[in-house]
Amino acid sequence: MKRYSTERKQSVIEKMMPPMNTPISRLSEDTGISDVTLYHWRKQARARGLVVPGDGRNPESWSAEDKFSVVLETASMNESELSAYCRQKGLYVEQIQSWRQSCIDGNESGVERERAVKAQTREDKRRIKSLERELRRKEKALAEAAALLILRKKAQAIWGEDEDA
């Protein structure tokens, strides 16, 4: 079994982390370290709480565990610290805010979720009723305009063209 220095190991793990997100297959080719060893190092880093996707994917396709780790890491940060963290990791503040909201939504109780669904349903019904009322009004106006056009054509057919027009 080959032994690697702590500095080398840390250097490779940093390449797995955002913003580089270098895939393990490429790291294995570049460094000559077996992919089994790299997967093991990534697993150890995750166990220590580091966010190490290491699969070359963009942050939106990270696992829920990795996103949750980022949310936990950034929970106590102020705006400037969060911005610096995002620059370092290759993320956007909006992504982290979205992930945070997803975590909150996921922990919502069934009663709260049901209440929100009922409120949305009520709002949808009110909107549908309003749109149907507007549609009926416009249909009546269109029917009236069509009737006036028909009467005008009949009047012209009976009395001929209007000389005043």
> pLDDT-based confidence at 25, cuts 50/70/90?
confident
Q: How many domains does the chain have?
A: 3
- Tell me if the pTM is above 0.85: no
- Tokens, residue 1: 């079994």
- pLDDT average, residue stretch 147-161: 91
**Quick check: is 165 in a domain?**
no
Question: Does 91 lie in the same domain as 49?
Answer: no
Q: Tally Cβ neighbours within 10 Å of residue 69.
A: 18
Q: Report the b/e string of 24-47 with b at 16+ CB within 10 A.
A: beebbeebebeeebbeebbeebbe
What sign does the CA torsion over 83, 86, 90, 95 have? negative
Where a domain ends, among 107, 126, 146? 107
Question: Does 90 lie in the same domain as 122?
Answer: no
Where a domain ends, among 68, 89, 107? 107
Compute the mean pLDDT over every residue in the chain, rounded to the nearest whole number: 85
Question: Does 101 lie in the same domain as 68?
Answer: yes
CA dihedral 76, 79, 83, 85 (to 10 degrees): -10
Question: Does 81 lie in the same domain as 46?
Answer: no
- pLDDT average, residue stretch 59-70: 81
Lowest mean pLDDT among 32-46, 66-80, 99-113, 149-163: 99-113
- pLDDT average, residue stretch 5-30: 82
Containing domain of residue 89, as a range?
58-107
Residue 54 has pLDDT above 60, yes or no: no
- pLDDT average, residue stretch 85-103: 88
- pLDDT average, residue stretch 23-51: 84
Residue 57 has pLDDT above 70, yes or no: no
**Quick check: is 46 in a domain?**
yes
- pLDDT average, residue stretch 118-128: 96
